[in-house]
Every structure is written in C-alpha cells, then in structure tokens.
Amino acid sequence: MKENKIVYRCSQFSGMLLIIAALVKAISINNLVVGATTGDISKHYATSVLIDWSFSCMLLSLIGIWILFLARDLKNLQKRAWSQAVLIGLAFTLFGGGFWFRYPSSLHLPFFLLVGLLLLVPLLIYSRRFKQ
C-alpha cells in the first residue's frame, strides 16, 4: 500500500501546533477578564467578547484534533482526506496572510499563516499521488 510520511508528519505537526495555540489562547483569557473589569472593554460587550473568545478556543482545538484524525488517512493517500486538509490549510493561510497584511502589528497572525502553509504545501506537492 502506498504511503506518504511527509504529508503525515506535516499534518500531525500542524494539528499539534493548533491544539497548543488553542491552549495558549485559553490560558490568556485572564487578560480579557481584567479588561472587562477595569473598563477597557465596554461592559455592554464584555459578555459577547468572552463567549466569542471561549468559542474560538474550542473551535481551534477541534480543528487541530480534526487534522490529527485526518493524518492517518492522508498518510494512506485518501482523496477525501486530501480535500478536507487542503480546505483547512487554505483557510488558515488566507486568514493568517490576509489579516496580517491588514494588521501587521499582530504577531500571532504569521503563526496561522505558517501553520496553513505547513499543511497546504506538502498536500499540493504530492497532490498527484492522491489522484491515483
């Protein structure tokens, strides 16, 4: 059976990086709570911001876990897993690159760009193997 360990390792690494990013984001929620109590974040919006922050942490970790589940299928060159991983990699690449272009002082955005490229580039390089 054909396998591709480069795509497998890159997808595993990008999935782990996204889970770590979600944990770091979840740990830094204290900054949000302090901003809401000191008035830096309007009391009117504080609840919505806190809910959105928590939801984005959960979704970021779920996407990382999803990529880890896809890694085995990518290793076995399954076309359906390739399609899903390309969409995820493209989304992270466009998100990180687009927002970093607009907000260059946000230093976490290049991380998402690099994670997206780490997932996307090997998939595109070896895309012909997935079609067979």
Interatomic CA distance for residues 10 and 66, integer angstroms: 14
Interatomic CA distance for residues 88 and 15, integer angstroms: 11
Interatomic CA distance for residues 97 and 99, integer angstroms: 6
Collect the ranges in the chain with pLDDT lower than 50. Answer: none
Helix axes 43-75, 29-38, angle to 10 degrees: 170
Residue 9: the pLDDT is: 96
Predicted TM-score (pTM) of this structure: 0.89
Residue 3: the pLDDT is: 79
The pair phi, psi for residue 128, each rounded to 5°, is -65, -30
Query: pLDDT over 90 for what percent of the chain?
Result: 73
What are the residue ranges spanned by the domains of the chain? 5-131
